[in-house]
Structure 1
């Protein structure tokens, strides 16, 4: 397989912009551990899917060779702006556009100056790929795509990478339980919004640690309903599909809260 490493990481900017806050420090530390593992795997390209890049008509792929600028997160703007610089593996991205169409999923390339890169992509790239040394292939989260569609897209993207002889690090960007505190909190006391959410998160993390991929897929609908798992946990589907729907287990580098929501940094054993 061309996949040399795989990760599931949170897209919240909070551990990125304020990593010194005690509840968020372990997530930032876990991200840095994942960054070391990703670098050690020596990928040519990072194949990244972020739940926060939302599409509604087609499957979108970023094809502009380089993007740089400053992003203001729509929810957590008070914590500071997010500078970014991203390089794109345009050859692989264009192949993915064609490949998606070939498996019956309408797909388009995106190539616009100052295109609004999403927070999740910026955070994951900033933590995992400091300095933007490794180019990315960025896939959007189409809101109407099923879990299975997402897995098939990732499988296709890996096949295209294999034909180009690319070594690929796969990254799915998204959170766990989705409930956040609606009232202002002392961020030094942040925690998972409810015991039920925490229980569900730990249940799913346990399955991931054991490599129980089929069980995770079966549990995702209940997880989404009971704990508001972000985007139905499709970011796991992206990684799972890219890994050929099999992995040997995983290492949980960090688990914690981002203003009540669940977040984890996970390195898959492949």
Structure 2
């Protein structure tokens, strides 16, 4: 099978920019554990879907061979800049663009200098990919539902398999979506609502029980916790892996009130 490892990680830059902050240290440590697991799986390519790369007309795929720059996050700029150097698996990305027609999705490649790579993708590539393994990055089309996202991921994994490549699946997005709307002491950051915290923890427990439990829980959870894009990033994991037997939660916490986690799936 092409997929050798799979992860769901927060796209917030806060644990990366301020890992020493007590409230974010657990997530930063979790990223380190996930990084070690990803490297140990020896992938040829990372198949990345970030809720923060927004598309509206087509499914977009990054096909530029190398994207280099410094990104300034639109929300958390006061904590520091985000340099990036991302290498793409062009052959696989272009094949994914072509393959979208087979699942009834209109798609386009993206290949131009200074394209605004999103924060979530930069965070995931920086913290999980120290060996600079090539990536394939798919956009989050706001009109694609959970099932469509799942089909896209399955298609991409199947094409990678046909190309003989080992794949690490990386789904980038948050959990509960209620941020603090005031300045807080970041050292005491926590999930803003107790009900959201309870829902996040229950959903993470469902992930540890396997794909069936996660699929049964995701709809109600996403609605109750106002989860990031209805947890479409989990659909990416479902589609690419074809299912999972369980999961390990390497880190859980808050990113300015919103829920965040670092999860490794057992395949």
TM norm structure 1: 0.97
Query: For the residues of structure 1 that align with 2:127 and 2:161, how far apart are their CA atoms?
Result: 26
* Partner SS, residue 164 of structure 2: coil
Deviation at 1:42, TM superposition (A): 0.3
Deviation at 1:133, TM superposition (A): 1.8
Partner of residue 226, structure 2: 228
Matches within 5 A, 1:132-147: 133-147=132-146
Deviation at 1:226, TM superposition (A): 1.3
Deviation at 1:235, TM superposition (A): 0.5
Query: For the residues of structure 2 that align with 1:29 and 1:206, how far apart are their CA atoms?
Result: 19
The alignment yields a C-alpha RMSD, in angstroms, of 0.9
Query: For the residues of structure 2 that align with 1:41 and 1:91, how far apart are their CA atoms?
Result: 21
Deviation at 1:215, TM superposition (A): 3.6
Deviation at 1:32, TM superposition (A): 0.7
Deviation at 1:219, TM superposition (A): 3.0
Query: For the residues of structure 2 that align with 1:268 and 1:258, how far apart are their CA atoms?
Result: 22
Query: For the residues of structure 2 that align with 1:195 and 1:267, how far apart are their CA atoms?
Result: 25
- Runs of 4+ displaced beyond 6 Å: none
Query: For the residues of structure 1 that align with 2:151 and 2:162, how far apart are their CA atoms?
Result: 17
Deviation digits for residues 80-107 of structure 1 (CA, Å, limit 9, x no counterpart): 1100000000000001001111111001
Contact conserved, 2:206 with 2:217, CA < 8 A, in 1? no
Instruction: State the number of aligned residues.
Output: 267
Match status 1:94 vs 2:94: yes
Query: For the residues of structure 1 that align with 2:74 and 2:226, how far apart are their CA atoms?
Result: 20
Structure 2: runs of 5+ lacking an equivalent: none
Instruction: Give the counterpart of 1:264 among 228, 244, 261.
Output: 261
Matches within 5 A, 1:39-78: 39-78=39-78
Structure 1: runs of 5+ lacking an equivalent: none
Deviation at 1:221, TM superposition (A): 2.9
Instruction: Give the counterpart of 1:249 among 246, 250, 266.
Output: 246
Partner of residue 118, structure 1: 118
Deviation at 1:220, TM superposition (A): 2.6
Deviation digits for residues 117-165 of structure 1 (CA, Å, limit 9, x no counterpart): 00000000000012x5200000000000000000000000000001100
Match status 1:197 vs 2:176: no
Partner of residue 36, structure 2: 36
Deviation digits for residues 64-83 of structure 1 (CA, Å, limit 9, x no counterpart): 00000000101111111100
Deviation at 1:223, TM superposition (A): 2.0
Question: Structure 1 stretch 221-230 or stretch 83-92: which is displaced more?
Answer: 221-230
Query: For the residues of structure 2 that align with 1:81 and 1:251, how far apart are their CA atoms?
Result: 30
Query: For the residues of structure 2 that align with 1:188 and 1:19, how far apart are their CA atoms?
Result: 11
Partner of residue 83, structure 1: 83
